């Protein structure tokens, strides 16, 4: 992975390259920005620049190739074990970083999902950050920097990454033999994340998106049992909840556009226009605004591991309310 292979983020590339050329690399960076936009790829590209025998990140020298196969002795990658980064992983890292680099000019450690460092691990890592050594460099990566310890954040140079433009994602998708409509829908739904546009999320967006909105539209105010059943069904698959909320956001954004008479060229779900227009007839700009806020609020809490079933029930109650804040469903619970 070289800078040239990374889509977008031109400013970040320029800044990092300049820092390297002027020998002003920070001893610790914190790359921040949404999931799947290229932060980790950028970290690998930086490592290549530092380790490459030709100092270009050529991709062909032994240094570059071993980075790509993740078996370079001076590259350390720390990741979550699924739930957290624990203190043992940081202690192990510190043992390795205590030795001088074997081949490269520095040892570099990439800590992915740095917001998953548990408090003990975070505090242990602080020691490494507080006593920086010239031959050690850390690159922390996080999509939720507000959840990284403040003391860690303040000791890193933060480099924010923006979401990719929709046109960039559409361009990549168009090279993948996907028909034009799907290409447009996926580019809009991926929220600037190439990982979402190309990864497993894609199947959800293509296969299940219509079903999600259809099930929701079928609910009426006060239909408690079907609502609880749908909440249970949605809550069952933890992995898909982020995609589910993305789909809901896209549908309600479209409804908002229709209700506020915005341009239909800005619609995301262009293949579901009829259903979305029917739904829009029952809403007002204010009711949609409340529903968009409810979805964002639900997503925020899901990312912080709240009870999924309750979060879904609460969301569905809010989404099935009428435009005048009809409380029928709430009062029957």
Q: Which residues bind Zn ion (CB under 5 A)?
A: 52, 58, 61, 64
Q: What is the largest CA-CA distance in the chain?
A: 70
Beta bridge partners of 108: 75, 137
Our CB check for Zn ion shows the closer of 37 and 52 to be 52
In angstroms, the CA 115 to CA 110 distance is: 13
Q: How far is the CB of 52 from Zn ion (least distance, A)?
A: 3
Q: How far is the CB of 46 from Zn ion (least distance, A)?
A: 13
In angstroms, the CA 20 to CA 48 distance is: 11
Tokens representing 10 are 């031109």
Q: How far is the CB of 136 from Zn ion (least distance, A)?
A: 21
Our CB check for Zn ion shows the closer of 52 and 185 to be 52
Our CB check for Zn ion shows the closer of 101 and 323 to be 101
Task: Burial-class residue 292 by CB neighbours within 10 Å (0-12, 13-18, 19+).
Answer: middle
Our CB check for Zn ion shows the closer of 52 and 114 to be 52
Q: How far is the CB of 33 from Zn ion (least distance, A)?
A: 27
Pairing type for strands 157-160 and 136-142 reads unpaired
Our CB check for Zn ion shows the closer of 64 and 212 to be 64
Our CB check for Zn ion shows the closer of 66 and 86 to be 66
Q: How far is the CB of 158 from Zn ion (least distance, A)?
A: 28
Quick one: the chain helix, strand, coil %, rounded to 5?
A: 60, 10, 35
32 with 158: CB under 8 angstroms? yes
Q: How far is the CB of 68 from Zn ion (least distance, A)?
A: 10
Sheet of 157-160, strand order:
75-78, 107-111, 136-142, 28-32, 157-160
In angstroms, the CA 147 to CA 143 distance is: 9
Tokens representing 286 are 């204010």
Our CB check for Zn ion shows the closer of 58 and 228 to be 58
Q: How far is the CB of 21 from Zn ion (least distance, A)?
A: 16
């Amino acid at each position: 992975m070289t800078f040239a292979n990374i889509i977008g983020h031109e400013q970040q590339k320029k800044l990092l390259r300049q820092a390297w050329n002027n020998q002003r690399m920070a001893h610790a960076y914190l790359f921040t920005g949404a999931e799947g936009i290229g932060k980790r790829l950028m970290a690998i590209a930086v490592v290549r620049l530092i380790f490459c025998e030709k100092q270009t990140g050529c991709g062909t020298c032994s240094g570059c190739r071993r980075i790509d196969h993740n078996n370079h002795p001076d590259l350390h990658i720390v990741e979550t074990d699924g739930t957290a980064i624990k203190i043992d992983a940081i202690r192990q890292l510190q043992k390795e970083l205590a030795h001088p680099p074997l081949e490269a000019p520095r040892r570099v450690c990439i800590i992915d999902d740095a917001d998953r460092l548990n408090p003990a691990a975070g505090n242990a890592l602080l020691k490494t950050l507080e006593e920086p050594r010239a031959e050690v460099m850390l690159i922390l990566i996080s999509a939720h920097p507000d959840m990284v310890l403040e003391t860690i954040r303040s000791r890193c140079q933060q480099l924010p990454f923006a979401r990719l433009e929709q046109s960039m994602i559409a361009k990549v998708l168009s090279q993948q033999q996907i028909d034009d409509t799907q290409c447009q829908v996926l580019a809009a739904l991926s929220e600037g994340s190439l990982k979402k546009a190309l990864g497993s999320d894609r199947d959800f967006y293509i296969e299940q998106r219509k079903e999600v909105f259809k099930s929701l539209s079928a609910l009426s105010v006060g239909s408690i049992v079907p609502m609880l059943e749908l909440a249970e069904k949605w809550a069952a698959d933890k992995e898909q909840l982020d995609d589910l909320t993305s789909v809901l956001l896209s549908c309600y954004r479209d409804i908002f556009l229709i209700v506020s008479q915005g341009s239909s060229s800005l619609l995301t779900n262009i293949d579901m226009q009829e259903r979305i227009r029917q739904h829009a007839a029952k809403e007002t700009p204010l009711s949609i605004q409340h529903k968009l806020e409810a979805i964002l609020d639900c997503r925020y809490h899901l990312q912080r591991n709240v009870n999924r079933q309750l979060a879904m029930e609460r969301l569905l109650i809010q989404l099935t309310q009428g435009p005048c804040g009809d409380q029928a469903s709430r009062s029957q619970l």
